[in-house]
Amino acid sequence: MSERVDVAIVGGGMVGGTLAAALAQAGLTVALIDRADPAAQFEEAYDGRTVAIAHATHRLMQATGLWARLVPHAEPILDIRVSDGLSLLFLHYDHRDLGEDPLGYIVENRAIRRALFARLSGLDALSVRAPVDLERHIVMPEGVVLTLADGSEIAASLLVAADGSDSALRRLAGIASTQWDYGQTAIVCTMGHERPHRGVAHERFLPAGPFAVLPMTDDPVHGHRSSIVWTEKKALAPAMLALSDADFSLELHRRFGPWLGAVRVVGGRWSYPLRFAHAETYIKPRLALVGDAAHTMHPIAGQGLNIGLRDVAALAEVLVEAKRLGLDLGSPAVLERYQRWRRFDNQVLLSVTDSLNWLFSNDLPPVRLLRDVGMAAVNRMAPLKRLFMRHAMGVVGELPRLLRGEAL
């Protein structure tokens, strides 16, 4: 006996899980399939990263019933200070230039996963199938049939690939993707420090790439904490990761300086190879790609998840409207609307982010001069600075309803 749903989503990460919540709370029937055990995803060992949640994403999380569970884990970003190695020129973004709202929030990925699964378990229109592998799927004119490794079958009008950067569904659908390797590795850890961070996020550009210090909530055991995203040359990263805690903490101090007093690494260290990827299309018959399955970007601007959740907001709006009008959810007309809304927008942001990484991970003297003068100039141009801040907050462009904080 197969389960019959409107939408089957493969990949229950932060993107797939949020899409499932948005659709199910609007009354669509959904099956969410993930090969990882949800309980394992809540452990520090699974993912030690934090994510910078833009202001618009925060509104989506409110509208999908996630935010109340995240409040104790979310540290507001009040200021962002961008500096270039030893140069005295810098760029300073202050949230008060735009009003009362913070520029965004820093939240641990595993706190988001925990909140998501708690939210999903309260939604009747949704079934979560995990841990289980997708064995095969067949696309037919009237729908898609999925067979899971436990032998069960799911029939759906639409299949959504939210299976991450290495998406098997994207490959199986024959969708090519433009991609390259940055030759950089992101080293991620949590840093305990003597002085409070006061909600300031720092991004310091070093020859190997950006070194970000992101404010986290205080912890009863470790006290003041910040999350580190340290971009290192791929060849050097293994040696850095192998350092003792004392030597690793010394390297953190050397890169960041005395701003927060004495610093030490707390907990584990993680590493992520960095690459660019953009799928040539987000849609095929009865298939839509969302999140990292569609695009993978450098974390320099902290936007990968934010744009993945923009995909979610647009696709959910398109599908809920189609359902109300009695349209076929997997039809080309419905899916084309999603693709038109998101792909070009993502292409622009991916290109800008790629250029930023080139500009700031470069030690050529003329390039250094160009970026330092550029940063100092932007710092003095209040309207331009406000525009950049509004972009980082995700409040520019044609926003889907969830990103405006409205229910579907």
- Residues engaged in binding ligand FAD (CB under 6 A): 10-16, 33-36, 49, 51-52, 133-134, 162-165, 168, 186, 188, 229, 272, 291-292, 299, 302-306, 308
**Residue 281 CB-density burial (10 A; 0-12 exposed, 13-18 middle, 19+ buried):** middle
Q: In terms of CB distance, is 42 or 89 closer to ligand FAD?
A: 42
Tell me which long-range contacts 214-219 makes (C-beta under 8 A, separation of at least 24): 214/50, 214/52, 214/77, 214/106, 215/75, 215/77, 215/106, 216/50, 216/75, 216/106, 216/108, 216/190, 217/72, 217/73, 217/74, 217/75
Q: What share of the chain is helix, strand, coil (3-state, %, to 5)?
A: 40, 30, 30
Task: Give the span between the Cα atoms of 36 and 39, in whole angstroms.
Answer: 9
Among 123, 109, 131, which Cα is nearest to 30's? 123
Tokens representing residue 191 in the block: 């840093």
DSSP designation for 119: H
**Whether 187 contacts 38, CB under 8 Å:** no
Q: How far is the CB of 289 from ligand FAD (least distance, A)?
A: 10
CB of 128 to ligand FAD, least distance (A): 12
- Among 223, 8, 227, 194, smallest CA distance to 111 is for 227
| C-beta of 168 vs 367, nearer to ligand FAD | 168
In whole angstroms, the minimum distance from the beta carbon of 19 to ligand FAD comes to 9
Pick 11 or 330: Cβ nearer ligand FAD: 11
Residue 15 or 126: the one with the smaller Cβ distance to ligand FAD is 15
For ligand FAD, the closer CB: 128 or 329:
128
**Of residues 328 and 345, the one with the C-beta less far from ligand FAD:** 345
CB of 120 or CB of 368, closer to ligand FAD:
120
Helix (H) or strand (E) holding 166: none
- Smallest distance from the beta carbon of 60 to ligand FAD, in angstroms? 12
Smallest distance from the beta carbon of 46 to ligand FAD, in angstroms? 9
In sequence order, the 6+-apart residues with CB closer than 8 A to the CB of 322 are: 328, 329, 331, 334
